[in-house]
Amino acid sequence: MKKVLLGVLLLFSVVANADDVQVYPTHWWAGMKDTKLQLIIHADKDIAVDKLVFQSSSKDVKVVRVNKVENKHYLIVDLEIAKNAKPQKLSFSFGGILRSEWTSVDYELKARSRDNGKTRVQGVNAADFIYLLMPDRFANGDQSNDIIPGYRDNQCDRSDKFSRHGGDFRGIENHLDYFNQLGVTTLWLTPVIENDMPRMTEWGNKVAGYHGYWFTDHYSIDKRFGGNEGYKAFCNKLHERGMKVIQDAVYNHVGNHHWFVLDSPSKDWFNTSQGDKAPSHREEVFYDPYVSQQDKRQMLDGWFVPHLPDLNQRNPYVANFLIQHAVWTTEEFGIDGWRVDTYKYCEEKFMNDVNTALEREFPSITVFGESWVNTTIANAYFTRNNINAPFKHNARGMLDFQVCFAMLAGMNEKFGLLTGLGKIYNTLAGDLLYQDPMNNCIFLDNHDMDRVFSEVEEDWNKLKMGINWLLTLRGIPQIYYGTEVLMKNKKVKTDATVREDFPGGWASDKPSENRFTKAGRTDTQHAAFEYISALAGFRKSSSALTTGKTMQYVPKDSLYVYFRYDAKQTIMVVTNTGAKDTIPDWKVFTERLNGFTRAKDVVSGNIKSLSGLAAGSKNSVVYELLR
């Protein structure tokens, strides 16, 4: 029997011509909890021939079913992998009656990492401090990858804000000490997957895919960032430092030069019910008891822009491809958490299926979704919630736009019932809708928003209040690159203006403007960096801030006081946005102050007596209470 099999395999290897055949996932692992695997095999010739035979060389990998789709360049193969399968190399061979025309492709089941849940795939939680950066715009550590021959966009020009600028993984690696100084534990990079797109017209501008949201091949990391090997090395370096990495996922759409589009497997691979018209961006359609099905369809099937075809996640092949890719990426690179782009435009069941599949293989993985929504009801709806709705989402957390808007209001607006500090109070009271609001990621701005320093009219004292809240409110704090050195700008018919290069990230940048160093910062920029670094450093070892409870008091006369506390520690955050210094009536807060006599400013270290403690005008202080 063995001899016969060997003979057949030899024959296959003679006829094998697999260079023009791609298999996705490109490899897999032995010992996965889910023993099913669905391969998409894609060739530039017809492989879905009549009387097709498809064979696996391994007894551990059974071919359950071979599916054909409209496009004969594709086979979609359902496999069952034995539970006790060892890591191994194998091959698949397939073809019609003429054996001389058969094709053979190599495949591999690798060994899973033993470090999942320990030093990689750790999950991200409220003890972390996330730094969001755009790899193209942070630092250029390798000029040799700035232009990759063969890619459709061969421009790298820092004088053009819509072009690529050459930033890469190596550039980020060169600044790991900087993140340590700042107190950052986790890096969230905007998408790193290949965007082999030409420049496209957006808002009247010719824009490159420098931001990464236009995928063209899920299984390739963009070579301009360092490719698959560069990304693996980058993730390993972060993990060796005890840091974590969050990957940015896009399940809703792909770039229109993705192979899905250039050689589409079937007509129903993409949503076409609305043509290429945009979605309504109204998330209410998912929970509104009075919704029309047309409105829901438009949200799910609308195309963000005409060059981003909307994936039909109701097609099980599409869904499986995306789910397996998420699992593959997590195991391959050791991703600690996922940020999911455009969450509210995706099929609801599909999103739950992705999260379930990830948690099955990686129990500690975390996911937070991005839904730019206008109410806490909407935000809570897309995560594990306490809402009595017919559909229950299962994402662990969400990007918390409501807390963001509330903090912006707190810094900028006059105090009122629902304005200024009143909005923070009111927003937090809405936390009853979340099963665990500590899993939400909170932030002051991001790559799609006006930079927060410009939002507060470049007033560091105002921003300092926001930084205090960001690092002491419940949830996982995230800072956008450059905020710590007061990078500014608003969006003006483009978001490129809020995605400028980090000064000092390029060899040609002036040392006097290198913000990675004290010498390259103004006094205010340095003060901001030092302040954030001190508070983030304190936060790391603060049980009250990272795992404690919250108690807030009704704000009154521009004064807002809240506490974070547990059995070991009590933190009090006092903010006065009024025009006058005031001495609060501390008796009001006895419920939390009882037993404490002194308050230590956690940044300056100054200790004051609680009796007579003043709340300075337009100021906020984080105190640790002492007995």
Which of 66, 568, 41 lies closest to 321, judged by CA?
Answer: 41
Please give the residues from 326 up to 355 whose contact with Ca ion meets the rule CB under 5 A. Answer: 345
* 406 Cβ contact partners less than 8 Å away, ≥ 6 residues apart: 423, 424, 426, 427, 428
Given 168, 301, 336, 370, the catalytic residue:
370
CB of 270 to Ca ion, least distance (A): 9
284 part of the active site: no
Residue 303 C-beta: closest distance to Ca ion, Å:
8
Closer to Ca ion by CB, 346 or 561: give it.
346
Out of 116, 125, 145, 546, name the contact with Ca ion by CB under 5 A: 145
| Residue 477 DSSP class | E
Which ranges in 204-315 belong to alpha helices (H)? 227-240, 259-262, 293-301
Among 108, 146, 202, 284, binds Ca ion (CB under 5 A): 146
Amino acid present at 303: W
Q: Tokens in use for 259?
A: 């192979």
Contact yes or no for 287/389 (Cβ under 8 A): yes
Distance of CA 363 to the CA centre of its chain: 18
Closest CA to 505 of 169, 119, 227: 169
Query: Quick one: which of 128, 136, 153, 168 contacts Ca ion (CB under 5 A)?
Result: 168
Q: Which residue stretch of 55-63, 144-152, 490-498, 594-602 sits at the interface with Ca ion (rule: CB under 5 A)?
A: 144-152
Token code pair at residue 352: 């739950």
Q: Which is nearer to Ca ion, 168 or 217 (CB)?
A: 168
528 touches 196 (CB < 8 A) = no
Identify which of residues 222 and 310 has a Cβ nearer to Ca ion in the complex: 310
Number of residues that bind Ca ion (CB under 5 A): 9
Work out how close the CB of 196 gets to Ca ion at its nearest, in angstroms, rounded to a whole number: 16
User: Taking contact as CB under 5 A, which single stretch among the options 28-36, 137-145, 185-193, 449-457 is the one that binds Ca ion?
Assistant: 137-145
Handedness of CA 176, 177, 182, 184 (dihedral sign): positive
Smallest separation (angstroms) from Ca ion to the CB of 144:
7
Site for Ca ion in 223-252 (CB under 5 A): 252
Piece of 8-16, 134-142, 456-464, 496-504 that binds Ca ion (CB under 5 A) = 134-142
* Beta carbons within 10 angstroms of residue 99's beta carbon: 13
The answer to whether the beta carbons of residues 618 and 461 sit under 8 Å apart is yes
Give the contact letters, 74-113, x = binds to Ca ion (CB under 5 A), - = no: ----------------------------------------
What the block records as the tokens of 159 is 């004088």
Among 509, 507, 501, CA closest to 485: 501
* CB nearer to Ca ion: pick between 296 and 598: 296
231-24-210 Cα angle (round to 5):
40
Cβ-based nearer residue to Ca ion, 218 or 462: 218
Choosing from 95, 166, 255, 437, the residue that interacts with Ca ion (CB under 5 A) is: 166
Q: Which is nearer to Ca ion, 156 or 407 (CB)?
A: 156
Give the Cβ contact number of residue 229 at 10 Å.
10
Phi, psi angles (nearest 5°) of residue 236: -60, -40
CB of 272 to Ca ion, least distance (A): 12
Site map (CB under 5 A) of Ca ion, residues 273-312, x = contact: -------------------------------------x--
Q: Which is nearer to Ca ion, 136 or 431 (CB)?
A: 136
Contact 216, 309 (CB under 8 A): no
Interface stretch with Ca ion, choices 159-167, 326-334, 388-396, 479-487 (CB under 5 A): 159-167
Radius of gyration of the chain (CA): 27
Compute the least distance from the CB of residue 409 to Ca ion, in Å. Answer: 31
> By CB under 5 A, which span of 138-146, 174-182, 199-207, 214-222 interacts with Ca ion?
138-146
Q: Considering beta carbons, is residue 147 or 377 the nearer one to Ca ion?
A: 147
Instruction: Please list the residues that pair with 21 across neighbouring strands.
Output: 43
Q: Which one of 173, 283, 332, 341 is the catalytic residue?
A: 341
Which of 373, 337, 342, 378 has its CA nearest to residue 355? 337
**Residue 482, by phi and psi: left (phi above 0), alpha (psi -120 to 50) or beta?**
left
Looking at the DSSP bridge assignments, the partners of residue 221 are: 193
Q: State which residue, 310 or 336, has the beta carbon closest to Ca ion.
A: 310
Rounded least distance, CB 177 to Ca ion, Å: 20
Residue 289: is the preceding peptide bond cis (ω within 30°)? no
* Of 119-127, 160-168, 512-520, 538-546: span binding Ca ion (CB under 5 A): 160-168
Binding flag, residue 202, Ca ion (CB under 5 A): no
Min CB(143)–Ca ion separation in Å: 6
Active site residue 370: yes
Structure tokens at 149: 């021959």
Minimum distance, C-beta of residue 235 to Ca ion, in the bound complex (Å)? 18
Site for Ca ion in 608-627 (CB under 5 A): none
DSSP run (H or E) holding 552: strand 549-552
Binding residues vs Ca ion (CB under 5 A) = 140, 142, 145-146, 166, 168, 252, 310, 345
Catalytic positions, written as ranges: 341, 370
